[in-house]
Chains A and B, each alone.
Chain A
Amino acid sequence: GNSVTQMEGPVTLSEEAFLTINCTYTATGYPSLFWYVQYPGEGLQLLLKATKADDKGSNKGFEATYRKETTSFHLEKGSVQVSDSAVYFCALGTASKLTFGTGTRLQVTL
């Protein structure tokens, strides 16, 4: 079956540090890949997505590249802000549903 593996959190960074959150997946067929973000007290919202191999999704300074050869979709940001503190979920989408990773909590401090 389909599955998504994310790095364990929490990740604690100082403001303006570089962020990488690793995500790898197992899937049959050709899934789409997503990053969702959950701010405190809120539901999930889409951060970015990529629909085929070598696509790069980007939004709000975050980016991730769909790497079929390594089955990965790592999230990166060059300079994090305190307001980026949240839980980040990697997910893969097939024709019928989304499968989520366990989430990675990011804490950014001044």
Chain B
Amino acid sequence: DVKVTQSSRYLVKRTGEKVFLECVQDMDHENMFWYRQDPGLGLRLIYFSYDVKMKEKGDIPEGYSVSREKKERFSLILESASTNQTSMYLCASSPRVTANTEAFFGQGTRLTVV
């Protein structure tokens, strides 16, 4: 059974803290993605990676960075958390991309910044 695992289901952090969200996949997928999900806005792509140590900005990268040191792990970093980063964060992975490739999602991390 394919699996994408996010390290936390719920997190509460203080404004200004550095926050790490971790994601691990066991499918040997080349591609990994971080999205945030907000009511009325759907899923918006923050960053994605198509190989180890490679990263590409998505649609809303400001305030975020990522790290991919190993193929199976993709970390999202909030350098200085702010209240407008309170959201649901979803990690996904997929094989080397063709247009019809399915993405597999983790269960999400609900982050609250206070």
Q: Which residues of A contact B (CB under 8 A)?
A: 6, 30-32, 34, 36, 41-46, 49, 51, 89, 93-103
Closest chain A residue to B91, Cβ basis: A43
The smallest C-beta distance from A58 to any residue of chain B, in angstroms, reads 15
**A101, B41: Cα distance in complex, Å:** 8
B24-62 interface (Cβ within 8 A of A): 33, 35, 40-45, 48, 56, 58
Residues of A within 8 A of B92 (CB): 44
A100 to chain B, nearest CB (A): 4
The answer to whether residues A43 and B99 also contact, given A97-B58, A100-B42 and a CB cut-off of 8 A, is no
Q: Report yes or no: A49 in contact with B90, Cβ–Cβ below 8 A.
A: no
Interface, chain B (partner A; CB < 8 A): 4, 33, 35, 40-45, 48, 56, 58, 90, 92, 97-103, 105-108
Complex CA distance for A36 and B90, rounded to whole angstroms: 14
**Lowest 7 A-B CB distances belong to which pairs?**
A43-B105, A102-B42, A32-B100, A100-B43, A51-B100, A44-B105, A32-B99
Closest-CB distance, B106 to chain A (whole angstroms): 5
Cα distance A83–B33 in the bound complex, in angstroms? 29
| Bound CA span A51–B100, Å | 6
B102 cross-chain contacts in A, Cβ below 8 A: 34, 46, 49
The smallest C-beta distance from B12 to any residue of chain A, in angstroms, reads 18
Q: Which of B43, B58, B101 contacts A93 (CB 8 A)?
A: B101
